[in-house]
Amino acid sequence: MRSLSSVGAVVLLSGVSFALTNSAGTAMVLGWSCALGVLAALFMRGVDEYLQEEYSGAGSLVIAGSVSVIAWALRAVIGSVHDPWTDPLGVVLATGLAWGADTVLRPGKSRSCFICKNPIEGGASLTCPRCRQTICARPECWIGRHARCHRCDTQDVVLFPVSDERWWRARLGPRVTTGACTSCFKEAHERDLRACGQCSWPMCKRCWDYHNGRCARCEWVMPRLPEALGAVSVDRPAQPSKRAAGAARRHH
């Protein structure tokens, strides 16, 4: 998607470039090269925001560089290149301005919240373990109690590998065939239930995921949680000794 739109931008801008400069003088070629650099940077920023990806400046350098080289080549073909230095200087200006515009635009992007787009003030940001986006600490964006962003909460984005049987078996053992989920009360034939390592009450995979690997009944936490979860402070009751005891009992 990103490379497709970059190719589109190169074709479009090369056409515009050629149309504007094929009979233009030195000043026009150089002036347009500057505009081209800024346009390329703005375009890539727009694409990244649309795709909701982390902003990367490399694309705009490539676009600005290739467009100015293509326009140069086209003018050389029709014989409207007047001197040997205007066009190389144009290429340098276009890529230089693209780089400069990226540098100016980038901090605003990487230091803003993925959800509310507000700038993030000194360190008050979190990386959501589910979507890996940078989220501000405002309660409208971050749900500390559930250690996830609002978007992941409303869209039920999962954290654990749902269908990786080895993953589940290694942490909670095989599927339980009787009983009902401690949390949502769905029964063994409806949901894939796994027993708690401490109280042995079963909980379904969805609920284990929803509770970030913590038993809804006894608050035991399953071993070897995804690293991403450790990076944020999951707002669980501070009972490290009980958790450790539970883990130890599980491993005998």
Interface with Zn ion, residue 220, by CB under 5 A? yes
Distances (CA, A) of 160 to 182, 209, 240, 242: 18, 6, 22, 23
Name which of 74 and 149 has its Cβ closer to Zn ion.
Answer: 149
Amino acid at position 144, single letter: G
In the bound state with Zn ion, the residue whose beta carbon lies nearer, of 80 and 127, is 127
Cβ closer to Zn ion: 32 or 142? 142
Q: Which two tokens stand for residue 145?
A: 């109690």
Amino acid at 141: C
- Per CB under 5 A, which of residues 177..216 are in contact with Zn ion? 181, 183-184, 196, 198-199, 204, 207, 215
CA dist 137 and 233 (Å) reads 12
Establish if 130 lies at the interface with Zn ion (CB under 5 A): yes
What six digits make up the tokens of 88? 């190389």
Select the span of 67-75, 95-103, 110-118, 166-174 touching Zn ion (CB under 5 A).
110-118
Strand partners of residue 119: 112
By rule CB under 5 A, what count of residues binds Zn ion? 23
Do the beta carbons of residue 211 and residue 190 sit within 8 Å?
no
Residues near Zn ion (CB under 5 A) are: 113, 115-116, 128, 130-131, 136, 138, 141, 149, 152, 181, 183-184, 196, 198-199, 204, 207, 215, 217-218, 220
